[in-house]
């Protein structure tokens, strides 16, 4: 099973200059709680944006067309098809953690989206595809105000494929 986990601004923004745009402490905590112990699948650019490389206590899978490259503590994959065939049919949850290219390609194969909606618009160079309400239904939603540790108001929204 493939799930997507992503933080998206009101205007669909998810990243700029190969980095995240905002800092939301509670979102990072939620990300860690949900993905620890699981497989996380990411694009090469998202991998390179991680300050300390592979995330601990998770199986890190990185997609790149480059068959020569090696990243420490990562499993390399070389096509979207390989991801779908390897992880799509297994019953356990595998988390696609970005970035834009991976979300775009794998959204049609995902059963669940763990969405953090950030209630602000930002200048960006990478965006999340439109979430079609005809395809996705809200399973749960929690709304939070901005605070000292979370500079913008945000919502945790779990979406299930209808």
Ligand X SMILES: NC(=O)c1ccc[n+]([C@@H]2O[C@H](COP(=O)([O-])OP(=O)(O)OC[C@H]3O[C@@H](n4cnc5c(N)ncnc54)[C@H](OP(=O)(O)O)[C@@H]3O)[C@@H](O)[C@H]2O)c1
Binding positions for ligand X, rule: CB under 6 A: 6-7, 14-16, 18-20, 42-46, 49, 63-66, 78-80, 97-102, 105, 126
Nearest-approach distance from CB 29 to ligand X, in angstroms: 14
Nearest-approach distance from CB 14 to ligand X, in angstroms: 4
Please say which residue, 121 or 134, places its beta carbon nearer to ligand X.
Answer: 121
Please say which residue, 65 or 134, places its beta carbon nearer to ligand X.
Answer: 65
Please say which residue, 9 or 91, places its beta carbon nearer to ligand X.
Answer: 9
CA dist., res. 50 & res. 105, Å (int): 21
**Tokens of residue 30, six digits:** 């939620």
Please say which residue, 1 or 22, places its beta carbon nearer to ligand X.
Answer: 22
Task: Please spell the DSSP secondary structure of 107-155, one letter per residue.
Answer: GGG-SEEEEEEESS----SEEPPP--TTTEEEEEEEEE---SSBSS-EE
CA dist., res. 23 & res. 20, Å (int): 8
CA dist., res. 14 & res. 8, Å (int): 5
Nearest-approach distance from CB 132 to ligand X, in angstroms: 19
């Amino acid at each position: 099973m493939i799930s997507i986990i992503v933080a998206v601004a009101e205007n669909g923004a998810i990243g700029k200059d190969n980095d995240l745009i905002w800092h939301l402490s509670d979102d990072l905590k939620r990300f860690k709680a949900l993905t620890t112990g699981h497989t996380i699948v990411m694009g090469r650019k998202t991998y390179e944006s991680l300050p300390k490389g592979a995330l601990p206590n998770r199986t890190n899978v990185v997609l790149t067309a480059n068959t020569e490259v090696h990243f420490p503590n990562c499993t390399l994959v070389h096509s979207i098809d390989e991801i779908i065939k390897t992880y799509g049919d297994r019953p356990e949850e595998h988390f696609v953690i970005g970035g834009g290219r991976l979300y775009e390609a794998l959204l049609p194969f995902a059963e669940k989206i763990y969405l953090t909606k950030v209630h602000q618009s930002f200048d960006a160079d990478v965006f999340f595809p439109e979430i079609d309400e005809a395809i996705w239904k809200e399973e749960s939603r929690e709304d939070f105000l901005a605070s000292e540790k979370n500079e913008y108001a945000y919502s945790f929204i779990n979406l299930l494929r209808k």
